[in-house]
Amino acid sequence: MPEEPLSPIENISETTLEQFRKEFEPYGWLIVISGGALDALLLYYLSLALFDSAWIALFMAPWIAVFFWYLHIRGKVQIRFWKEVAESRGWSYEKDHSVAGERGLLFHQGSGRTVLHAVSGVYHEQPLSIVEYMYTTGSGKSKQTHYYTIFEVKFRGTFPHLYLNNIKNADYIDFFRKMGLPQLSLPAEFEKKFQLYAPKQYEIEALQIFSPDVLEFLLREKWEHDLELTESELIISRPMHINSASELETELTKVQTLVDRMAPTLNRIRLAEIGDYPSTL
């Protein structure tokens, strides 16, 4: 019999669990029996005081195998999800997209910098990409993995390197403080939520882009993510990866609304270098 066509993925976690159950079912009894036998053997050796670290590894082996099996299935579901996103919009999909050439500050943090999935298309004549990104900081017990969904939009204009940091995003607060980057003064109600950084001598250009109207728009929309402008690109950083079609649609609608609001300025503005002052952060 021909296989039934797959339904579009609405939720990555739920689809992964459903697929895991289907694949686990034929072999589940074997894993349970082997795990139970090892448990019994472990208790026996504990009673004889012959227990050591090798037995711990043997005891954990089946459950570690199950865990990696689940991760493997989730990886396949994520690929299918992002391919469906691209196909439904007439966009392109790329797995393991290279970070080489990426100009955003986030792409230069930590180590193990990886783009897991990338889809690219066009929105209102503006090239738009969505990438699932991760990197790590620290080592040993202090090692931490950071996950982001990043929206990149290209414009016809050129502008200095600007960064609008939502103070809830702690990843960058220490970074900016250590770098000693110049922070611009903003209206009090806005500084409660955001910090704006711009190169020295480019304050006027920064405030042309982040005008009172744009700041009011961000407050009104309860904007939650960091914004970065570099050369001709707007980069929007959202902590954590996307888990569902509805979540993606909500985030993409927010991004598209912001693009519509900022496009007239970002398509028109042209960067004029000021003496020897660099226009980058």
Task: Report pLDDT digits (tens) over 222-247.
Answer: 999 999 999 899 999 998 999 999 99
In angstroms, what is the C-alpha Rg of the chain? 24
> CA dihedral defined by 70, 73, 78, 84, rounded to 10 degrees?
-150
Could you tell me the pTM of the whole model? 0.85
Q: Which two tokens stand for residue 232?
A: 């001709």
DSSP string, the chain: -PPPPPPPPSBHHHHHHHHHHHHHHHHHHHHHHHHHHHHHHHHHHHHTT---HHHHHHHHHHHHHHHHHHHHHHHHHHHHHHHHHHHHHT-EEEES---TT--SGGGGSSEEEEEEEEEEEEETTEEEEEEEEEEEES-GGG-EEEEEEEEEEEEEEEEEEEEEEETT-HHHHHHHHHHT--EE---HHHHTTEEEE--TT-HHHHHHHT-HHHHHHHHHTT--SEEEEEEEEEEEEEES---BHHHHHHHHHHHHHHHHHHHHHHHH-----BTTB-S--
Residues 6 or more apart whose Cβ sits within 8 Å of residue 84: 8, 9
Residues 6 or more apart whose Cβ sits within 8 Å of residue 98: 115
pLDDT tens digits, the chain, 281 residues: what are they? 445 567 899 999 999 989 888 877 766 555 566 556 656 656 665 555 555 555 555 566 666 777 788 888 999 999 999 999 999 999 999 987 888 888 888 888 889 999 999 999 999 999 999 999 999 988 888 899 999 999 999 999 999 999 998 888 766 655 666 666 778 888 888 888 888 988 888 888 998 999 989 999 999 999 999 999 998 999 999 989 999 999 999 999 999 999 999 999 999 998 877 766 667 76
Task: Report pLDDT digits (tens) over 164-191.
Answer: 988 887 666 556 666 667 788 888 888 8
